[in-house]
Amino acid sequence: MTEDSSYINEFLEEIAEILNRLDRQFVTLEQNPSDKDCLTEIFRDLHTIKGSCGLLGLNKLESITHSGENLLGKLRDGELNVEPVIVTNLLKMMDAVWKTADCLKKNGQEGDVDYSSLIDTLALLEKGESPPDSLPNDEFEQNKSSSPTINLEAANLQGPSDIAPEIVTPALTSKNKQDVTEDTSKGKNIRVNVELLDSLMNLVGEVVLARNQFSRIIHDNNDSSIQGTSQSLNRVTTDLQETVLKARMQPIKNVWDKLPRMIRDLSMSCGNKIHLEMEGQNSDLDKSLITAIQDPVMNIIRNAIVHGIEPPEERQRIGKPEEGVIRLLAFNKNGQIHIEIQDDGRSVDFQTIKNNAVDEKRITLEQKEKLSDKDCGKLLFMQGFSLTENSLMKPAKGNGLTNARTMIEKIGGTLDIDIQPGMSTTLKIKIPLTLAIIPALIVSSGLNRFAIPQVNTRELICLEPEQVLQKIEEISGSQFYRLRGNLLPLVKLNHVLKTKLCEHRSDLNIVVLQADDASFGLVVEQIHNAQEIVVKPLDGFFKNIKVFSGATMMGDGEIVLILDVMRLAQNARMISSKSSQDQLIESATSIKDAEEVQAMLIVSLSDDHRVAIRLSDVARLEEMKKSAIEICGEESVIQYRGEIMPLINIPQLFNTSEELQETRDNLEVVVHTHEGKSLGLRVKNILDIVQTTVSQKRANQALNLLGTIITDNTVVDVIDVKLIVSDFLKTPPEA
């Protein structure tokens, strides 16, 4: 690298923060034209850039910034008033600077775009004259529709988050740098390359591993001197780790500082009036996470401006203030940073979402009626699903929220939505504070140990053999633990990983985990200690195993895989039995074509006769005591949830040669709801839930059949539950 190119690279790094600050300051100035302090800061920052350009021989950049500086001088001295047309053209000057900086970063040249028309316009404004309506010879003007994003895309110059955690000015390194009259130095911070910080973090990780190994070695040693040395090493390592982590942390405002300019440009393009409120912008995040959340946050806010906030005339008509509000909130909680992005716009109508989902064949009419408001909102995250067909900004249809959630989940975070129709929409992001070193719980299953991030761990439960018999309930093949009156679904880690246990255990160890809004209990063979682990990325084969998010090395040298709790929950729902209500929700929000692929409950009527029931016809799956059955007239009934529920003998209805075994103590019942009342369908066994296609070739209303499916290479009849129930009740079948 030549000396000149090294100067230019340093110049580009050092002006990135200034450029981001200028974008923000210009928007502030437009909102507060009488703010003389803001004008002074803008003038000083632009003067610094112009002076640096002159020393480095960057003539084009110097001309652009010089024209802006002259105009700002007149504003600062009170000879001109701050007007929207002036701010707009000063922002065009900023975009020209960003674009030129982009060219410098790519090839060391200032580019061949001609900005003479822009410079002439700034000169006219400096004289107090009105500029022409358009700048036909200016390439930037021809592309002005993209101007809101130029400052975010140019040369990856996205502010200090892409350069270093601590930034200082002035910008130059040559002997003549003292010629710059404005001193913006802060003699307290130094610039550190991010790669150096990454290397330092890796070294700290190795120190942590060595500390863990040393602690393990002397665990049983009674030598007080060694114990003292160990404690000292532990303390120093912890302090070192915290210091390096702190050096990597940056305030989230490094992302948020870009927003005022973007919101200003987008709102002008859409014709909407937007007021931005920010709280908690000093909350700190690891540098890598700051970079990762930038695009999702931008996408969400862009959607809010373009789709969520109503036009001023519509807001006035419905009694809302003319100016819409976008509110950003960040706060730390339980080892995570929570980011909430809320707009007070029209939001979306649940019925419209459902209708669109039906029209696009994502859910059936039956599923539409059962879909809750919360799960209805989750449809908006599905690839290609959109309520907006036309937009001034022409966004990629239906991909904004999908991509945002994908990017957030890649860094171990979650994205949820809270919809208040006609009032507001709130997107809630939760992400870890850092991905480098995290506290984790060590557990084992079979011969292997695993790490569970402590942020997902809620509590530990250890049950003695007699407690297992008393407190573990089994419903339709699924196990539940009654935790403080609520049923907690249990997932066995060895079943998920398809491994064998070291020994049969009559006790039970449960780790209660939180995945998004859902809680479940992970059954493990042993629960060990909690400790800080150094997260290493997965490589090769393990990348394809979705239940692992990384790996770490233990004190004894063993490599331990880190469980991805979110993926573990998703995987467990697929391979283990779960409540029919959960299955119904999953089926209703499936991206598969619901008219072709449906969720089916497989039941047996005898040892050699299986049938299928549409899961949309199932309210619950129950196991009941035979002794609870009563005879009312000619019907079998049972007391169920405060009502008398009739029982329909399905094997008898289909003339099954083998009647239900009356000697059994327990009866398996499929509960169907008809006009708010429950009816029980008695079957021999509840077997499985599958997703498959229904063939209507063998549909026969006289035989109560909807068609057939193929599962396990066997043809299985699909029974028409609604028709069976209507015949039983002597009522017309439901539509």
For residue 661, the domain's CATH number is: 2.40.50.180
Q: Is 231 found in the same domain as 166? A: no
Q: Look at 28 and 656; give whichever has higher pLDDT.
A: 28
> Would you give the DSSP letter of residue 396?
P
Give the lowest-confidence range in 62-66, 151-155, 566-570.
151-155
- The torsion angle over the Cα atoms of residues 615, 618, 622 and 626, rounded to 10 degrees, is -120
Read off the pLDDT of residues 302-327 as tens digits, 9 standing for 90 and up.
888 877 888 899 899 999 999 999 99
Out of 146, 179, 212, a domain closes at 179
* Mean of the per-residue pLDDT values of the chain: 76
> What is the per-residue DSSP string for 689-735?
EEEEEPB-TT-BGGGTEEEEEEETTEEEEEE-HHHHHHHHHTSPPP-
> What CATH number does residue 146 fall under?
1.20.120.160
Residues 6+ apart with CB under 8 A from 372: 585
Q: Is 267 found in the same domain as 240? A: no
For residue 665, tell me if it sits in a domain.
yes
Pairing assessment for the beta strands 518-524 and 486-492 based on DSSP bridges: parallel
Give the lowest-confidence range in 80-89, 162-171, 446-455, 718-727.
162-171
> What CATH number does residue 342 fall under?
3.30.565.10
How high is the pLDDT of residue 157? 42
For residue 295, tell me if it sits in a domain.
yes
Tokens of 664: 């059994």
Q: Is 224 found in the same domain as 125? A: no
Q: Is 122 found in the same domain as 239? A: no
Q: Is 386 found in the same domain as 263? A: yes
Q: Look at 189 and 721; give whichever has higher pLDDT.
A: 721
Q: Is 557 found in the same domain as 662? A: no
* Residue whose pair of structure tokens reads 């665990």 in the numeric block: 219
Q: Look at 231 and 527; give whichever has higher pLDDT.
A: 527
Residue 648's pLDDT band, with cuts at 50, 70 and 90, is very high
Q: Is 377 found in the same domain as 451? A: no
Q: Is 257 found in the same domain as 238? A: no
Q: Look at 702 and 713; give whichever has higher pLDDT.
A: 702
SS3 342: strand
For residue 188, tell me if it sits in a domain.
no
What is the average pLDDT across 590-614?
A: 74
Domain that holds residue 130: 3-179
What is the average pLDDT across 210-239?
A: 76
CA dist 587 and 592 (Å) reads 9
For residue 585, tell me if it sits in a domain.
no
Q: Is 645 found in the same domain as 526? A: no
Number of Cβ within a 10 Å radius of residue 302? 18
How high is the pLDDT of residue 541? 57
Residue 171 predicted with pLDDT over 60: no
For residue 17, tell me if it sits in a domain.
yes
Residue 681 predicted with pLDDT over 90: yes
How high is the pLDDT of residue 677? 86
Residue 246's pLDDT band, with cuts at 50, 70 and 90, is confident
Q: Is 351 found in the same domain as 286? A: yes
How high is the pLDDT of residue 680? 93
How high is the pLDDT of residue 151? 36
For residue 587, tell me if it sits in a domain.
no
Residue 678 predicted with pLDDT over 80: yes
CA dist 559 and 563 (Å) reads 13
Out of 382, 408, 432, a domain closes at 432
* Residue whose pair of structure tokens reads 């895309």 in the numeric block: 153
Give the lowest-confidence range in 87-96, 265-274, 588-597.
588-597
Residue 394 predicted with pLDDT over 50: no
How high is the pLDDT of residue 390? 36
Whether the bond between 170 and the residue before it is cis, its omega within 30 degrees of 0, is: yes
Residue 145's pLDDT band, with cuts at 50, 70 and 90, is very low
> What is the per-residue DSSP string for 473-521?
EEETTEEEEEETTEEEEEEEHHHHHT---SS--SSEEEEEEEETTEEEE
Distance of CA 297 to the CA centre of its chain: 10
For residue 184, tell me if it sits in a domain.
no
Read off the pLDDT of residues 445-503 as tens digits, 9 standing for 90 and up.
888 899 998 878 889 999 888 888 777 877 656 788 878 767 788 888 888 888 888 77
CA dist 333 and 616 (Å) reads 38
Q: How many domains does the chain have?
A: 5
Out of 417, 432, 447, a domain closes at 432
Residue 633's pLDDT band, with cuts at 50, 70 and 90, is confident
Percent of the chain whose pLDDT exceeds 70: 79
SS3 270: helix
Whether the bond between 489 and the residue before it is cis, its omega within 30 degrees of 0, is: no
Helix (H) or strand (E) holding 148: helix 147-153
> What CATH number does residue 223 fall under?
1.10.287
**Would you tell me the crossing angle of helices 59-76 and 116-126 to the nearest 10 degrees?**
20
For residue 457, tell me if it sits in a domain.
yes
Residue 580's pLDDT band, with cuts at 50, 70 and 90, is very low
Q: Is 470 found in the same domain as 426? A: no
Read off the pLDDT of residues 60-117 as tens digits, 9 standing for 90 and up.
888 888 888 888 888 888 888 888 888 888 888 888 888 888 888 888 888 888 888 8
Residue 385's pLDDT band, with cuts at 50, 70 and 90, is low
Q: Is 560 found in the same domain as 516? A: yes
How high is the pLDDT of residue 328? 92
CA dist 708 and 697 (Å) reads 8
Residue 535 predicted with pLDDT over 70: yes
How high is the pLDDT of residue 169? 30
Read off the pLDDT of residues 333-384 as tens digits, 9 standing for 90 and up.
766 788 999 999 888 788 888 888 888 777 788 778 877 777 777 777 776 6
CA dist 448 and 44 (Å) reads 61
CA dist 346 and 307 (Å) reads 9
Residue 579's pLDDT band, with cuts at 50, 70 and 90, is very low
Helix (H) or strand (E) holding 277: strand 274-279
What is the average pLDDT across 505-522?
A: 83
Residue 410 predicted with pLDDT over 60: yes
What is the average pLDDT across 114-143?
A: 70
Residue 397 predicted with pLDDT over 50: no
Of 516, 376, 483, 499, nearest to 443 (Cα)?
A: 499
How high is the pLDDT of residue 572? 64
What is the average pLDDT across 399-413?
A: 76
